[in-house]
Amino acid sequence: METEIDKLLDNAYASSLVFVSVTVLSLIVFLWVFEMMTKYKCWKEIKRGNMAVAMATGGKIFGICNIFRFSIEANDSIYQSLIWGAFGFVILLLAYFLFEFMTPVFRIDEEIASDNRAVGLIAMIISVSLSYVIGATVII
């Protein structure tokens, strides 16, 4: 039995709007989760001009959206895409904690909060790079 959403997804325009809408809503939720995990407030720091936070947050945004790009491409339904996108996000979040753990000489969050742009750049590149690896794994 087809649901209303499945019928809606038969239309290419409606399908595009649904996938983008679900991705944007997921992005908002996942950025909020990242915000809860960091010691600084991303948007407050970005408003102050903290480039390290902007780069790290930009990497997270790109990473999350890139994972969803792969999950949408690899799956037939919005439900599968959402599940795989969320799973990919959890892996990206775990990678963030691993990055923090693997750098015992300084605290990543503290360095980014103090506008250490080198650390912000590395955080961005890690998020972007890992999103490609994570995205490649979401194919069923």
| Interval 39-70: pLDDT, tens | 899 999 999 999 999 999 999 999 999 999 99
Position 1 scores a pLDDT of 43
pLDDT value at position 99?
Answer: 84
Nearest to 27 by CA among 112, 85, 96, 75: 85
Q: What mean pLDDT do residues 104-128 have?
A: 93
- For the chain, which residues make up each domain, given as ranges? 4-136
Higher pLDDT: 1 or 46? It is 46
Both structure tokens of 94: 């775990």
Q: Mean pLDDT throughout 19-31?
A: 94
Report residue 64 as tokens. Answer: 């999350």
Direct distance between the N- and C-terminal alpha carbons of the chain, in angstroms, rounded to an integer: 23
pLDDT tens, residue by residue, 91-103 = 999 988 888 888 8
Residue written as token pair 């649904």: 18
In 3D, which of 118, 96, 101, 98 has the Cα closest to residue 31? 96
Residue with token string 């959402």: 82
Q: How far apart are CA 72 and CA 42, in angstroms?
A: 27
